């Protein structure tokens, strides 16, 4: 059984590789390499898969999942510059892939080990990434 929760956060970022010229970064990352940053309204789905607990009828209490999402990810990332404000992105390009990976790593520590965690991150209405730990 899978249960999920949708949360949103707004963050600024810049995609670039240090050591590359602005021209090379523009070639690879396009407008996303704008040196003055740009923002996205991220939509993050957090999915938890596992057995239904016969005592509670839950896979995981969604109130608890909500708290984990907010404490570990959305309260930290919301209205922040991912490159500059979030230590987890030091030296890591904050692509949707890497944001999903960092969010998964922050939350997986708090999710009971018998449950499988999946993060699905919408960077735009059309671009989605999904990460389940590999
Ligand atoms: Ni972007």
Q: What is the pTM of this model?
A: 0.96
pLDDT in tens, 8-59: 999 999 999 999 998 999 999 999 999 999 999 999 999 999 999 999 999 9
Q: Residues near 112 by Cβ (< 8 Å), separated by ≥ 6?
A: 50, 60
Token pair for 30: 């396009």
Element (H, E) at 45: strand 38-49
* 79 part of the active site: yes
Distance 14 CA to ligand 1 centre (A): 6
* 38 part of the active site: no
* 7 part of the active site: no
CA 84 to CA 51: how far, in whole Å? 40
The residue ranges of every structural domain in the chain are: 2-11+38-131
Active-site residue (options: 13, 40, 72, 123): 123
Distance 13 CA to ligand 1 centre (A): 6
CATH architecture of 2-11+38-131: 2-Layer Sandwich (3.30)
């Amino acid at each position: 059984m899978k249960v999920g929760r949708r949360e949103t956060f707004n963050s600024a970022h810049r995609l670039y590789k240090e050591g590359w010229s602005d021209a090379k970064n523009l070639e690879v990352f396009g407008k996303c390499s704008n040196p003055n940053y740009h923002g996205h309204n991220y939509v993050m789905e957090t999915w938890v898969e596992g057995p239904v607990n016969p005592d509670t009828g839950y896979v995981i209490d969604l109130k608890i999942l909500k708290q984990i999402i907010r404490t570990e990810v959305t309260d930290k990332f919301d209205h922040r510059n991912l490159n500059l404000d979030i230590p987890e992105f030091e030296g890591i390009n904050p692509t949707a892939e890497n944001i999903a990976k960092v969010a998964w790593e922050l939350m997986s520590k708090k999710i009971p080990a018998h449950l499988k965690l999946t993060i699905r991150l919408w960077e735009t209405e059309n671009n989605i990434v999904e990460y389940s730990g590999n």
